[in-house]
A and B are shown apart, each in its own frame.
Chain A
Amino acid sequence: MSEKLQQIINRQNQALVSDDKKVDEVIQLVGFIVGEEEFSIPILSIQEIIKPIGWTRVPQIPSYILGVFNLRGSVIPLIDLRARFGLPLQKHTDETRFIVMKNGDDVAGFVIDRLTEAIRMPKRDIGPAPDTISESETMIDGVGKQADRIVTILKVHKLLERNF
């Protein structure tokens, strides 16, 4: 019985490995600019992207959380990524967007400077986060290399994690 099971598992594993070889796994990312740098997050963790709307300040929270806003009846926190990354604040422009990210039940809106594009990237082009940053603290999931640029991939769950 267990032998049989083992065989099946082995076969499945092989199938997986060969699958990997056949079609290089591609992940889809959405790129955006905050400050000078281009960041990206997996497209599947985006609930929606909206133009800036009004929000309400909430007292007694870190300054990078601007407050809460109304997304079709849900009250959602709004986080300024510039402030989150320690960059100087900037006035919202026509290109400013709110990216609403979700991870399970956690949802929050993030203010970004502008969107760039949807990126399709083979998994092999993605390297780990720089060693200088400690593993547990970093918000960086990996660094994607493309012909003319590098894109920092962010950990959505880390962004959505309450850290105060």
Chain B
Amino acid sequence: MDEFEEILQDFLIEAFELIEQLDQDLVELETRPDDLDLLNRIFRVAHTIKGASSFLNFDVLTHLTHHMENLLNMARHGDLVIDANVMDVILESIDLMKALLVRIRDHGEDSGLDVSECVARLDVVANGESAPAPIEIETPIIQEPIVSKVDEEEPDYANMSDAQVEAEIERLLAQKQAEAIAKRAGTAVASTEVAEPDYANMSDAQVEAEIERLLLEKQSQDAAKRAQKSQNTAPEPAPSAPAVVSVPAPQPKTEVAPVAKVAPSAPVARRSEPKEEGESKGGGVEQTIRVDVKRLDHLMNLIGELVLGKNRLIKINDDVEERYEGEAFLEELNQVVSIVSLVTTDLQIAVMKTRMLPIGKVFNKFPRMIRDLSRELNKKIELEIAGEDTELDKSIVEEIGDPLVHIIRNSCDHGIEIGEVRMASGKSEVGTIQLKAYHEGNHIVIQIIDDGKGLDANMLKQKSIEKGIISEKEADAMSEKEAFGLIFRPGFSTAAQVTSVSGRGVGMDVVKTNIEKLNGMIDIDSEVGHGTSMKLKIPLTLAIIQALLVGVQEEYYAIPLASVLETVRISKDDIYTVENRSVMRLRDEVLSLVHIGDIFEVERVFDSSEHAYVVVLGLAESKIGLIVDTLIGQEEIVIKSLGEYLKGIEGIAGATIRGDGGVTLIVDVAALMQMAKSVKSTIGSESGDAKKLGVKNSASDYCVMIVDDSKTDRTIMRKSLEPLGVTLVEAVDGVEALNILKQGDHYFDAMLIDIEMPRMDGYTLASEIKKYNKYKNLPLIAVTSRAGKADRMRGVESGMIEYITKPYSPEYLMNVVKRNIKFNEGL
């Protein structure tokens, strides 16, 4: 059973690979119907699948492929001219074949799909154009054909009876096994002459081969006998094969003749095989092995660990360099570190490359799609593909297919005009869609260019307003590029009529989501009447990325560099407010701004610095400016998941481990852009979280700090507040106050601060305190004899919320404090 599974898996892999090539060949065939090579290739696919499926007992699939093969064979022999109608039937049958294969893959059986109609049509086409009775009944000769057909290049499968076909399959199987043995024995098939083997003179390996041969002989005889019976009794493939593997390769002169005798057609296969390969891969032995993707993933994970280790090492190296400057061993350490980091980078690239697939894998299905679409839409469309060899990560290849399908469908349906319209506007009747892929730095760019009618920004805006996607006001403020971006909005569809191809307003929305998922960007360029160009820019890999590290207060975040367009340093004056939103002018664009602290609930304090950094983020076609406090730099980071417990946190794509061993969160740019739309404004919403620190059960749970350098003043304040029963802590200057605060032994509800103090004055103290997030809501009350307006202003600037001028009455002070600590509210 396991063996069967294994064969089945191999069959499926092979079949899907064949089919991929098939689509392209078929479309090509339509343009060059008399290309015999092409026909042969297509025929062989049908034949291979038929052979294997009958061996595996997939009767429906066998039935279908048999008829396909029949038709193709006729074409091959020139009995049938392939025109569009014939092609339609063939394509339909191939689709059905694909569906069947998918069923087999998913359910392990091929029942449940009706092929009879398709088969009937295949037969009609076959009969309509040529002599009837495609299957001639020959007297089945069971054992003879195997020998008799040895010297035929390609047995005429179509004219064989079922039994013969089965016998043929048996033969091919035996042949395959024979080949395998021949290969394992490490010999080339030199002669086809039959010689009675001389057992005495044989090496161990030869004896093994001989045993194999005898076994095979027996098997093939059995097989031939069984050929007429049910396929359930299909022979097991060379059960002793593994034993042979361990045999060391013998000298090349050994006679493989016996093998040739058992399966006399082996040379035939040998002749035809290179031909097959020569056609598809340009000759030579294929230098590839199949590797389970899981193993590659594991390898990639290990590399990830290594990259983290490398980052760590670099950091330590820097520290050591600083501490032991000028020491001789530093030189050596430096060298080792740079070698390790170099090798790690190379290793990472090498492993990444093993996961790379040519994008042609995706592109291959488009010629067929375009063909179908152009027939369906009654337009003439040509597809030009370039750069199909461009490679990118397997996981991305898998994701990119859907978006491309949607874009190309869209281009065919909405972009390219019908023939007459094109002629009228002076273009060639045949519309062209170009599909290009190329590398650009760490990105791959996929470009889809059509020479259709182009996008009309005004029309797009109009439509969006009608559908309520945007308001008129928004529309007016939109640039042309932004208007193009409207096609990605959910619910948008420009086709006046919904066709089966597109127009349901789902497709382009999917494109955007999928591209965003890959951290990619979409750029649309269009000119009315001349066509549209869509540029998808996608990072090459997903696991290890370049990131920009930014700081906000005491926290750091990593932003995927792929989404960072630029960073700018702006002054506070450059930020404008429009409808409660911060915006800035970036060259000729207006960029909406959001503070990273607002997104990630970083409790931001009064920022004294006059300047801010704006990281301009671009994703798909939208842009936003993210205000951060500091820019740390660029670093290579390994994306780690936050695990099951913390998954799905909005705005966080994962975490990474930094060189210092700390964890840094990675920003999910797509989610961040969404969040930016609904983020609460920076001001307001300040009260409310003050009480999160514990419950106040008694007056002594309230804690107030008194900061004054004069003992007398402190005593006066203490005396004034003592009646409240609150806990009082005293500090003689700003430095001490800050230290007490940092120790965190008390949770302060308010601070009374004198302005003029030695070491650190009240203003400085206040601004220092406000630098900490947790003290953002701590009420700071200035108690001072400075009563000037300028002093008050400075107080407010540094974060004081009340200003009490000395002298004051004890009751006044008490009331101010009571109000600020919300005394009695919770009791």
Seen from chain A, the residues whose Cβ lies within 8 Å of a Cβ on chain B are: 54-61, 63, 65, 67-70, 73-77, 88-89, 91, 105-108, 160, 162
Q: Mark B658-673, 1 if CB is under 8 A from A, else 0.
A: 0001111100000000
Q: Enumerate chain A residues within 8 angstroms of B663, measured Cβ to Cβ.
A: 55-56, 67-70, 75
Given contacts A55-B663, A58-B665, A60-B650, contact A162 B644 (CB under 8 A): yes
CA distance A106 to B651 in the complex (A): 22
* A56 and B665 in contact, given A106-B645, A107-B643 (Cβ under 8 angstroms): yes
Query: Are A73 and B644 closer than 8 Å at their CB atoms?
Result: no
Given A57-B555, A58-B652, A60-B601: A77 in contact with B645 (beta carbons within 8 A) = yes
Which A residues are in CB contact (< 8 Å) with B555?
A: 56-57
Contact with A73, one of B305, B642, B645, B662 (Cβ below 8 angstroms): B305
Closest to B644 in A: A106
Closest residue of chain A to B744, judged by CB?
A: A91
Contact among B601, B640, B644 with A74 in the assembled complex (CB-CB below 8 Å):
B640
Q: Given the complex, which residues of B lie within 8 Å of A67, measured CB to CB?
A: 663
A105 adjacent to B644 (CB under 8 Å): yes
Structural contact, A162 and B645, CB atoms closer than 8 A: yes
Given contacts A70-B661, A75-B641, contact A56 B652 (CB under 8 A): no
Contact of B745 with A by CB under 8 A: yes
Q: Is the CB of A75 within 8 A of B657?
A: yes
Contact A75 B662 (CB under 8 A): no
Checking A59, A76, A88, A91 against B643 with a beta-carbon cut-off of 8 angstroms, the contacting residue is: A76
Contact partners of B643 in chain A: CB under 8 A = 75-77, 106-107
CA distance A100 to B26 in the complex (A): 60
Cα(A56)–Cα(B662), bound, Å: 7
Cβ contacts A to B, 20 pairs, < 8 Å: A54-B661, A56-B662, A56-B664, A56-B665, A57-B555, A59-B649, A59-B651, A60-B649, A60-B651, A61-B646, A63-B692, A65-B646, A68-B655, A70-B657, A74-B640, A75-B640, A75-B657, A77-B642, A106-B643, A160-B645
- Give B692's nearest chain A residue, CB to CB: A63
Chain B hits for A89, CB < 8 A: 693-694
Task: A162 to B649: give the CA distance in the assembly, Å.
Answer: 12
Known A54-B662, A58-B649, A91-B745: A75·B644 in contact at CB below 8 Å: no
For A162, list chain B residues within 8 Å (CB): 644-646
Complex Cα distance, B663 from A56, in Å, reads 6
A54-B662, A59-B600 known; A75-B651 Cβ under 8 A: no
Residues in B neighbouring A88, C-beta threshold 8 A: 694
CB <8 Å contact, B642 and A75: yes
**A73-B305, A74-B640 are contacts. A61–B649 as well, Cβ < 8 Å?**
yes
Bound Cα distance A74, B664 (Å): 12
Residue of A59, A107, A160 contacting most chain B CB atoms (<10 Å): A59
| B residues in contact with A108, CB < 8 Å | 645
Count contacts on B: residues with CB < 8 A to the other chain. Answer: 30
Q: Total contacts A to B, CB within 8 angstroms?
A: 73
Render B624-648 as a binary contact track against A, CB cut-off 8 A, 1 for contact.
Answer: 0000000000000000111111100
User: How distant is the Cα of A91 from the Cα of B649 in the complex, in angstroms?
Assistant: 27
A70 partner residues in chain B, CB cutoff 8 A: 657, 661-663
Q: Taking the complex as formed, is B308 at the interface, i.e. its CB lies under 8 A from any CB of chain A?
A: yes
Please tell me if the beta carbons of B693 and A77 are within 8 angstroms of each other in the complex: no
Asked if A73 contacts B657 (CB within 8 A), the reply is yes
Q: How many whole Å from A145's CB to the nearest CB in chain B?
A: 32
Q: Is the interface of B mostly helix, strand, loop or mixed?
A: loop
Say yes or no: A73-B308 contact (C-beta < 8 A), given A88-B694, A91-B744. Answer: yes
Chain A residues positioned under 8 Å from B646 (CB to CB): 58, 61, 65, 68, 77, 162
Considering the complex, give the chain A residue whose CB is closest to the CB of B555. Answer: A57
In order of increasing CB-CB distance, the 10 nearest A-B pairs are: A59-B600, A56-B663, A75-B655, A59-B601, A77-B645, A75-B640, A88-B694, A70-B663, A70-B657, A68-B663
Instruction: A161 to B641: give the CA distance in the assembly, Å.
Output: 17
Kindly report which residue of chain A lies nearest to residue B309, judged by CB atoms. Answer: A73
Measured between beta carbons, the chain A residues less than 8 angstroms from B602 are: 59
- Chain A residues in 8 Å Cβ range of B642: 58, 68, 75, 77
Residues of A within 8 A of B694 (CB): 88-89
Once the chains are docked, how many angstroms separate the CA of A74 from the CA of B642?
9
- Shortest distance between the CB of B415 and any CB in chain A (Å): 41
Q: How far is the CA of A102 from the CA of B288 in the complex (A)?
A: 41
By a CB distance below 8 angstroms, the chain B residues around A91 are 744-745
**Bound complex: CA A108 to CA B662 (Å):** 16
Further 5 A-B residue pairs, CB within 8 A, beyond A69-B663, A91-B744: A57-B555, A58-B642, A58-B646, A59-B649, A67-B663
**Cα separation A58 to B646 with both chains bound (whole Å):** 9
Chain B residues positioned under 8 Å from A55 (CB to CB)? 663
Give A107 to B646 CA distance when docked, in angstroms: 11
Kindly provide the distance from the CB of A128 to the nearest chain B CB, expressed in whole angstroms: 27
CB distance from B322 to the nearest CB of A (A): 21
In the complex, how many angstroms separate the beta carbon of B195 from the nearest chain A beta carbon?
57
Residue in B600, B641, B655, B663 whose Cβ sees the most chain A Cβ within 10 Å:
B663
Residues of A within 8 A of B662 (CB): 54, 56, 70
Within the complex, the shortest CB–CB distance from B739 to chain A, in Å, comes to: 15
A5 CA to B693 CA in the complex, in Å? 63
List residues of chain A with CB within 8 A of the CB of B745.
Answer: 91
Which residues of B have CB within 8 Å of A68? 642, 646, 655, 663, 665
Residue of B nearest to A88 (CB): B694
Kindly report which residue of chain A lies nearest to residue B305, judged by CB atoms: A73
Distance in angstroms between the alpha carbons of A59 and B666 in the assembled complex: 12
Chain B minimum-CB-distance residue to A106: B644
CB closest chain-A residue, reference B641: A75
Chain B residues in 8 Å Cβ range of A76: 643
**Which residues of A are found within 8 Å of B744, using beta-carbon distances?**
91
- Complex CA gap A144/B599 in Å reads 46
A59 to B603, CA, bound (A): 11
Q: Which residues of B contact A160 (CB under 8 A)?
A: 645
Q: In the complex, which of the residues B599, B601, B646, B665 has the most CB atoms of chain A within 10 Å of its own CB atom?
A: B646
B663 closest partner in A (C-beta): A56
Interface string of B519-563 (1 = CB under 8 A from A): 000000000000000000000000000000000000100000000
Nearest B residue to A107, CB-CB: B643
Separation of A68 and B707 alpha carbons in the complex (Å): 36
The docked-state distance in angstroms from the alpha carbon of A73 to that of B658 is 10
Return chain A residues, CB-CB under 8 Å to B599. 59
User: Separation in Å of the B660 CB from the closest CB of chain A?
Assistant: 9
Report Cα–Cα, A55/B640, bound state, in Å. 15
- Residues of B near A105 (CB, < 8 A) are 644
Chain B residue at smallest Cβ distance from A55: B663
From B599, which residue of chain A is reached at the shortest CB distance?
A59
